[in-house]
Structure 1
Amino acid sequence: MTERPTPDLSILETRVYRGANIWSYDRAIHLVVDLGVLEKFPTNTLPGFTDHLVAMLPGLREHSCSRGRRGGFVERLHEGTWLGHVAEHCALALQQVVGHDVRRGKTRQVKGRDGVYNVIFGYADEQVGLAASRLAVRLVNHLVEADPAFDWDEELEQFIRRAQRTAFGPSTQAIIDEAVSRDIPWIRLNQHSLVQLGQGVHAQRIRATMTSQTSSIAVDIASDKDLTTSLLSAAGLPVPKQESVRTVEACVRAAGRIGYPVVVKPLDGNHGRGVCLNLQDEDQVAEAFEIAREQSRRGHVIVESHVVGKDYRCLIIDGKVAAIAERVPASVVGDGSSTVEQLVDDANADPRRGVGHEKVLTRIKVDDAAIERVRDQGFAMSDVPPEGTTVRLALTGNMSTGGISIDRTFEAHPENVEIAEEAARMVGLDIAGIDFICPDITEPVRETGGAICEVNAAPGFRMHTHPTIGEPQFIAKPVVDMLFPPGATSRIPIIAVTGTNGKTTTSRMISHIFKGMGRKVGMTSTDGVVIDERLVIRADASGPRSARMVLQNPRVDTAVFEVARGGILREGLGYERNDVAVVINVAPDHLGLRGIDTVEQLADVKAVLVEAVPRDGHAVLNADDPLVRAMRRRCSGQVVWFSMEEPGTETRDMIDAHCRRGGKALVLNPSERGEMIVVKHGPREMQLAWTHLLPSTFGGKARMNVQNALAAAAAAFASGAPLHDIRQGLRSFSTNYYLSPGRLNEIEVNGVNVIVDYCHNAPGMRMLGDFVDRVGDSLEGSHDLARPSRIGIIATAGDRRDQDMRELGDVAAQHFDVVIVREDEALRNRPRGETAGLVLEGVRAAMAAGARCKQAEEVLDEIEAVRHAMSRANRGDLVILCVDQHAAVMTELENWSPQAQAGAGFSDDSPLADPDYVAPTAE
């Protein structure tokens, strides 16, 4: 029986990348889709598929795809392409329907899985992009086999309405577009119009056209129309006579005192709601009072004299007139054959008109007020007005009620401009909308008559950026100029650190260097988020969300991010680019997770940081690691090498050639006195520090921290830090618990030398084992009676591969006399004891092959394992605790013996010497 196509396309997995990622330099949505039986049916085998698809989404004709020309994708459809690729282009086309300019996309088969594809495409709004992906899959399936419940027109309309609900208003979007054109980063802070421009200490916020610089008092004044009129009148500015009332009787009496005709409006309304104009008698005033009171938040109503003339809106930004528009109330013009109702329908059919602020014009709303207004002009909605007769449907010229705008920016009389600017200054608004009523804006209002009827906070930009008649005004420019004057900085330096091992310590070293320079550093790491030396969140904060949290903090002027593999794969980077990317090493770890099966693939993930370096940035790379060295080809900026190799090696020869071309590097130069860290920049060599004098290196024995110090110094040097500040930072950074909790913390407990560290994988254990051998050898030389024992507590996470767990045990057995295997509290989908059992297998296999280890034990609970290790240790022994919950372990050691507080790790200024100190916990 011949197999036939069925609608099998389905989404297996969805990821949203909010920054650079392994697929794209920019944010993207990643779908893993399964074609099912459709894998056997490319588009050229589906009769009518292409024609129907293009008819439903005509924008696909513009897609170039891999052909690089208009219509390239349609050619691919006719020739035959797979439906995962079609879903990608449909998701892009749907976003383009709602005005989002997104074009990036790619589709690749998942290795080793027939019919399963990675579909990646860009997005402008996350929720719209996700909705587009779901609708695209439904559309493709519908075209394969028609679904009676699938109404394309209705589905498309619902999608458009959803996009409109989450879209920025025209004012906010105009400011964001201007910011983007100046390379100013932005972050959406809620689902509405609250947006942050810039980063950290340079950040400014906007909400529609209110800014961080908008005075709250000025907004209150503008909202109180009575107070506004009083202030303007006191300044000698033309304003109408006005009174504030709370009852209908007071309203009628005030109208009589002011003199008819009058205007009645809410004291604190907006968008022209509740405004009643040209009221001629007491009955109209009484009726208008109820309308105005409904729109007044505090129940106060304004009665003022009716000023005759045209309605003008003067936009003032930072004290200067930026644009002027004449506002014409919603109206239709008779053609001699259509009714008023038909004329309104024809006007609303204009594609420029939409609901609310979604488009440049708003649809004319026919409500009771509009019908009454038409009746006042002698017509009913079913009447046919004579040709050329204008029928108004609203009293006010607000765009939100269906009005139109005519640009008058360059026509206003200078005196009127001066009056508008003075009005904004009197109220105190940085961005103000001044409403003028006057016969002609080109003539002085003091001579022709006219007045300022309102001063508005947060004025809309739509009438100026998209006037119905006249030239648009680029008014977002002065707004951004006000927030970020020419030459002002909008970004803070971002230093991102990644690697298999050493990320946290290197990040702490870099942060410590900049703290010594007086910077307010925001740092993320696996221990949490630190803002200016204060731990604000205790959690694994090496992902993109924590990075965004730092960039939103108004105190931070330098950001140091530890970036882990998991965050990159899950959401991408939490920012657009990093000024300095540091890659310490790449070794087998976390393999077999999220499609990363080889160390080369893991290197591709780490390289995302290098790809996020701009042309004026730097990538700090470990020249000793071949996988890291290969990342230089992915860097748009400059490469700064660091190396622990001795002079004369192939690596050092490569670095010397790099520096002869003007490059930068940090290397170790050995001598009789020890190893010197040397900064190389072009032909110059500058001595930085002896490695054995850096506290974090334990006299040079902790080779992993020598490497970390090289990386940290290179990052600081690339960021422009002076050498003496880098030197001082490295000399003052130690691995005590206060500066580096859980990383090579050394203490003495009853004569036992204890090291607390986070080591949890085989590559890290090799480096830690080298340190243990160096320290252990020095301890053996200081004891004449017996050789000190080396006791190690080890563990790993349950999401590692079985062979990785066995390898960890094998490596540990080479360096310890006694190995105690424990387990983390989070088992990561393994039964209790399984992870420890696999590690023990590796230990015992190594013991059978003649490894140093003579005894292996299993104590699953972390604290119980610590107690067991300490109970069997003798004076002079070396105990290495590879911990998960380092704060709990340090507390246990502190309780174990009073001497712990007086040990090397607990000086008088140590946090554990403070009885009120609450140690951080890694969650």
Structure 2
Amino acid sequence: MTEQVRNASRPGPDLSILETRVYRGANVWSYDKAIHLVVDLGSLEDFPTSALPGFTEHLLQMLPGLREHSCSRGRRGGFVERLTEGTWLGHVTEHVALALQQVVGHDVRRGKTRQVKGVPGRYNIVYGYVDEQVGLAAARLAVRLVNHLVEADPELDWDSELEAFILRAERTAFGPSTQAIIDEAVSRDVPWIRLNQHSLVQLGQGVHQKRIRATMTSATSAIAVDVASDKDLTTRLLGAAGLPVPKQESVRTVEQAVAVAKRIGFPVVIKPLDGNHGRGVCLDLQDEDEVRTAFPIAEGESRGGRVIVESYITGRDYRCLIIDGRLAAVAERVPAHVVGDGRSSIEELVELTNADPRRGVGHEKVLTRIKVDAAAVALLADQGFGLDDVPPAGEMVKLTLTGNMSTGGISIDRTFEAHPENVEIAEEAARIVGLDIAGIDFICPDITEPVRETGGAICEVNAAPGFRMHTHPTIGDPQFISKPVVDMLFPPGAASRIPIVAVTGTNGKTTTARMISHIFKGMGRKVGMTSTDGVVIDERLVIRSDASGPKSARMVLQNPRVDFAVFEVARGGILREGLGYERNDVAVVLNVQPDHLGLRGIDTVEQLADVKAVLVEAVPRDGHAVLNADDPLVRNMRRRCSGQVVWISMAEPGSEVRDMIDQHCRRGGKALVLEPSERGEMIVVKHGRREMQLAWTHLLPSTFSGRARMNVQNALAAAGAAFAAGAPLHDIRQGLRTFSTNYYLSPGRLNEVEVNGRNVIVDYCHNAPGMRMLGDFVDRVGESLESTSDLTKPSRIGVVSTAGDRRDADMRELGAVAAQHFDVVVVREDVALRGRQRGETAALVAEGVRQSMADGARCKQLEVITEEIAAVRHAMSRANAGDLVVLCVDKHPAVMQELETWSQQAQAGSGTAAGGDPDFSPAPAPA
């Protein structure tokens, strides 16, 4: 946006959305899911609401609900005060998006608007949502409305736009039955995941999950549903059990229907064999002609073409809801009707009835609008009326014969009036059919009297019965029937969540996550783990990709085998979508180093720490945050934790950090520290005043006899997370003792391979902080290398690279650090260039190497070979027996395969794998 436009003398409709993000879990802006907009006000930056005549009045006229918004004032009408005083239109857009969602019944009130630092007129708008698509549509409509109020848009018809928005929300909303169950689950802290755009929902996580679709559950028998759908079979089964049912037969032709009706005796009912919601049901047929007329109506609603003819039972229509074998509610269903007032026609009475705000289309509201169709007109004629006739005052005129809510009927709660014998019959009917949730339809004169005495009968058993008539009766008290449903799925005391351990940090995330997973796998848990290498379910790699984001976490939580989850959480996923889950029981933060800066608005290491602190903020009161006390930025995260903090530290006793930890433990806190002694370093668990020895660091395979200091820190973090998650110390100890960095347990992370006398280390190191830790390891290992020649010392050869989306300075720094630890540095590039030109990244890394060499660094030789396998071959051909070769890889499977090829060729006597100086023996050509 140019300064000329920004300084315009009059406002224009310049508000625009530059960027949209949907956070599906905790994020840097909010503890809960939210939508994030980046908007540009353009010329409107100079025009707050107080400078726009008529803006506030028109806005409140279009969205009266804004009068209820408290905003920062904390009281009703606070936002109106802000509008009157003058507030910027980014803030207005936030409240309009919230108000639009409230119009469709979504209870969302969270929002904030903040200016983008250093960019005039640009704002971050963050607000909550219930349905993602509705929330996004609200943002688009809010921007259009604000611009329209600044300068009228002739193409914007507000009433039609608002109606279209409401209809869109209704299409994606859950039905009343599904929503009632979800609301009850949420009130009990049972997590849920929507599995499709309809009503299929997962309640619970992992091994504890249950699924519902409307009022069908994971426990609903498919055979029982088929039985209930076959009305002829249902009636025969119930009749065989001695339950009162009408006489009936199934037919395929109209002549068969007439014959059966004569045999049963008039009046009769004709209905589809496998219909639902009362569609196609024709009642009180008195003669053959009415049967012939009704047959095609019922046949049109039958999926299989079969039609039921049954005796007509007179009386009232009652629905008995049975959940888990017990009666939960009873409702009397009254067919759609109008009551005359002596003045209005039937058509006018229908319009007045449909004007009830409780009535909507289909299942969108608690009542359904009455539809006047050909069947309704015919029924009116039978009663002696037409649509234009005015019925006498007080006379009830039926518009349908069935009492289904979906055809416009109303309900009256009769739960506590049902006779015990009728209750027993309804419960027995559900057991016979085999449904865990069943709707038993009774036709009888009075539900308070035994149906066997009054002549009533069960006319139908329904699978997936609607809850609407019970939760929102037109007359009577609502019944909270979702409670027994959730009780059935999750009995009191039953678990619905699996433990979640989330690991983040600049370096060490993957190894730490693998260590934690290994510990709990040894305890017999079915662990689901996500990492940059993929998704692992019970030690089986099911997806090979970078799976450190929120989608992979949800995939693990949906797996029915998983009873423990370990998530590697990267910065990118948090910024893109949030965590993707509600909370983690244990959050592990290893370190915060200057990496990935300059991406997605994260320009400083402090901002990066704020991103990683999202995990700590997602810890509940009964959870733990495992924090590295040696890192000041991580140490400061303790203030954001609602649960307990478990410190880990490699600091020496007597240091400032250790003093802080000792004070923490004296107050009953927990920590894991290193205690040095003549025999080595011992990992010690401190809990209050107790100290428990865990393991010697030099005896843990992953630490290379204590020389891999980064894995000493990772082991501390893994042990701290396992301790916080409730693992016994002997299981933690056994897990650390059996975890090694071999390729099968930790692919691509400090894998040690011996190739024809050369010591090869394969690692993922890709940034300067990681290179410092790797360099420290190289220095420690290099000191112990034994020369195979009296003339030369063992050389250290490193193949290094970094990702193309790092800053130029970060790339140079990586090269500079590598030059301090290796005699020979080979610079390569990743396959994915991330916006760079081929050779650009390698040139920047090489520049850093040269600068460091000029300053007297260890490196004496620099090579640039951009292709990874070619660089590996070059490094291996340069190395002699006894040398140390460190390969910082991108595609570790291909590199390991290449190393295996070298070993096999040497065993076969091939000259390709022979050592030598590439100055005299040219390197192999790139693959």
Q: What CA distance in whole angstroms lies between the structure 1 residues aligned with 2:780 and 2:793?
A: 14
Q: 2:416 is paired with a residue of what secondary structure?
A: coil
The one-letter amino acid paired with 1:494 is I
1:586 is the counterpart of 2:595: no
Q: Is the 8 A contact 2:788 2:881 kept in 1?
A: no
The one-letter amino acid paired with 2:347 is E
Q: Is the 8 A contact 1:240 1:307 kept in 2?
A: yes
Aligned to 1:829: 835
Q: What CA distance in whole angstroms lies between the structure 1 residues aligned with 2:790 and 2:635?
A: 46
Aligned to 2:655: 649
Residues 539/225 of structure 1: CA separation in 2 closer, same or farther (3 Å cut): same
Q: Is the 8 A contact 2:194 2:201 kept in 1?
A: yes
**1:83-94, aligned counterparts within 5 Å?**
83-94=89-100
Q: What CA distance in whole angstroms lies between the structure 2 residues aligned with 1:62 and 1:162?
A: 24
Q: What CA distance in whole angstroms lies between the structure 1 residues aligned with 2:902 and 2:375?
A: 82
Q: Is the 8 A contact 1:894 1:900 kept in 2?
A: no
Match of 1:278 among 249, 274, 284: 284
Shift, 1:901, TM fit: 10
Match of 1:804 among 810, 814, 818: 810
The one-letter amino acid paired with 1:18 is R
Percent of residue pairs identical: 84
Q: What CA distance in whole angstroms lies between the structure 2 residues aligned with 1:514 and 1:608?
A: 25
Q: Is the 8 A contact 1:179 1:480 kept in 2?
A: yes
**Deviation string for 1:870-890 (max 9, x for gaps)?**
111100000000000000100
**Deviation string for 1:189-244 (max 9, x for gaps)?**
00000000000000000000000000000000000001000110011000000101
Aligned to 2:275: 269
Shift, 1:286, TM fit: 1.3
| RMSD of aligned residue pairs (Cα, Å) | 1.0
Shift, 1:783, TM fit: 6.2
Q: What CA distance in whole angstroms lies between the structure 1 residues aligned with 2:842 and 2:788?
A: 34
Aligned to 1:517: 523
Q: What CA distance in whole angstroms lies between the structure 2 residues aligned with 1:901 and 1:290?
A: 83
Q: What CA distance in whole angstroms lies between the structure 2 residues aligned with 1:72 and 1:337?
A: 46
Aligned to 1:381: 387
Q: Is the 8 A contact 1:747 1:900 kept in 2?
A: no
The one-letter amino acid paired with 1:693 is L
**1:606-617, aligned counterparts within 5 Å?**
606-617=612-623
Shift, 1:899, TM fit: 8.1
**Deviation string for 1:90-121 (max 9, x for gaps)?**
00000000000000000000011000000000
**Deviation string for 1:755-811 (max 9, x for gaps)?**
000000000000000000000110047865421110000000000000000000000
Q: 2:635 is paired with a residue of what secondary structure?
A: helix
Aligned to 2:924: none
1:42 is the counterpart of 2:42: no
Shift, 1:288, TM fit: 1.1
Aligned to 1:62: 68
The one-letter amino acid paired with 1:636 is S
1:411 is the counterpart of 2:417: yes
Aligned to 1:486: 492
Q: What CA distance in whole angstroms lies between the structure 1 residues aligned with 2:53 and 2:443?
A: 64
Aligned to 1:502: 508
Match of 2:372 among 363, 366, 369: 366
Q: 1:129 is paired with a residue of what secondary structure?
A: helix
Task: Please report the TM-score for the alignment, with normalisation by the length of structure 1.
Answer: 0.97
Q: What CA distance in whole angstroms lies between the structure 2 residues aligned with 1:281 and 1:443?
A: 31
Q: 1:410 is paired with a residue of what secondary structure?
A: helix
Aligned to 2:917: none
Q: What CA distance in whole angstroms lies between the structure 1 residues aligned with 2:125 and 2:261?
A: 67
**Deviation string for 1:267-296 (max 9, x for gaps)?**
000000000000111111111111111100
Q: What CA distance in whole angstroms lies between the structure 2 residues aligned with 1:480 and 1:782?
A: 71
Q: What CA distance in whole angstroms lies between the structure 1 residues aligned with 2:543 and 2:907?
A: 26
Aligned to 2:303: 297
Aligned to 1:917: none
The one-letter amino acid paired with 2:96 is C
1:224 is the counterpart of 2:223: no
Q: Is the 8 A contact 1:749 1:899 kept in 2?
A: no
Residues 899/709 of structure 1: CA separation in 2 closer, same or farther (3 Å cut): farther
1:874 is the counterpart of 2:874: no
Match of 1:97 among 90, 94, 103: 103
Q: Is the 8 A contact 1:810 1:845 kept in 2?
A: yes
**1:529-568, aligned counterparts within 5 Å?**
529-568=535-574
Aligned to 2:35: 29
Q: What CA distance in whole angstroms lies between the structure 2 residues aligned with 1:453 and 1:288?
A: 18
Q: 1:486 is paired with a residue of what secondary structure?
A: coil
Aligned to 2:915: none
Q: What CA distance in whole angstroms lies between the structure 2 residues aligned with 1:782 and 1:76?
A: 80
1:597 is the counterpart of 2:597: no
Residues 2/862 of structure 1: CA separation in 2 closer, same or farther (3 Å cut): closer
Residues 901/55 of structure 1: CA separation in 2 closer, same or farther (3 Å cut): farther
**Deviation string for 1:306-358 (max 9, x for gaps)?**
00000000000000000000000000011111111111011001111000000
1:199 is the counterpart of 2:200: no
1:854 is the counterpart of 2:863: no
**Deviation string for 1:674-727 (max 9, x for gaps)?**
000000000000000000000000000100000000000000000000000000
Q: 2:753 is paired with a residue of what secondary structure?
A: strand
1:212 is the counterpart of 2:231: no
**1:437-452, aligned counterparts within 5 Å?**
437-452=443-458
Residues 901/480 of structure 1: CA separation in 2 closer, same or farther (3 Å cut): farther
Q: What CA distance in whole angstroms lies between the structure 2 residues aligned with 1:152 and 1:276?
A: 43
**Deviation string for 1:137-159 (max 9, x for gaps)?**
00000000001111110100000
1:718 is the counterpart of 2:739: no
Aligned to 1:689: 695
Q: What CA distance in whole angstroms lies between the structure 2 residues aligned with 1:242 and 1:896?
A: 81
Aligned to 2:4: none
Q: What CA distance in whole angstroms lies between the structure 1 residues aligned with 2:69 and 2:46?
A: 25
The one-letter amino acid paired with 1:694 is L
Q: What CA distance in whole angstroms lies between the structure 1 residues aligned with 2:40 and 2:902?
A: 57
Residues 6/559 of structure 1: CA separation in 2 closer, same or farther (3 Å cut): same
The one-letter amino acid paired with 2:614 is V
The one-letter amino acid paired with 2:190 is I
Aligned to 1:333: 339
Q: What CA distance in whole angstroms lies between the structure 1 residues aligned with 2:533 and 2:905?
A: 27
Shift, 1:387, TM fit: 1.2
Structure 1: unaligned runs, 5 residues or longer:
903-923
Aligned to 1:863: 869
**1:105-254, aligned counterparts within 5 Å?**
105-254=111-260
Structure 2: unaligned runs, 5 residues or longer:
1-6, 909-927
Q: Is the 8 A contact 2:8 2:43 kept in 1?
A: no
Q: What CA distance in whole angstroms lies between the structure 1 residues aligned with 2:215 and 2:240?
A: 27
Aligned to 2:433: 427
The one-letter amino acid paired with 1:526 is T
Aligned to 2:468: 462
Aligned to 1:704: 710
Aligned to 1:736: 742
Q: Is the 8 A contact 2:675 2:684 kept in 1?
A: yes
Q: 2:182 is paired with a residue of what secondary structure?
A: helix
Q: What CA distance in whole angstroms lies between the structure 2 residues aligned with 1:703 and 1:104?
A: 44
Q: Is the 8 A contact 2:787 2:794 kept in 1?
A: no
Q: What CA distance in whole angstroms lies between the structure 2 residues aligned with 1:463 and 1:285?
A: 30
Residues 638/112 of structure 1: CA separation in 2 closer, same or farther (3 Å cut): same
**Deviation string for 1:556-611 (max 9, x for gaps)?**
00000000000000000010000000000000000000000000000000000000
Aligned to 2:401: 395
Aligned to 2:636: 630
Q: Is the 8 A contact 2:358 2:365 kept in 1?
A: yes
**Deviation string for 1:398-439 (max 9, x for gaps)?**
000000000000000000000000000000000000000000
Shift, 1:898, TM fit: 2.1
Q: Is the 8 A contact 2:206 2:561 kept in 1?
A: yes
Q: Is the 8 A contact 1:265 1:302 kept in 2?
A: yes
Q: What CA distance in whole angstroms lies between the structure 1 residues aligned with 2:560 and 2:484?
A: 23
Q: Is the 8 A contact 1:748 1:900 kept in 2?
A: no
**Deviation string for 1:855-902 (max 9, x for gaps)?**
111000000100111111100000000000000100111111228999
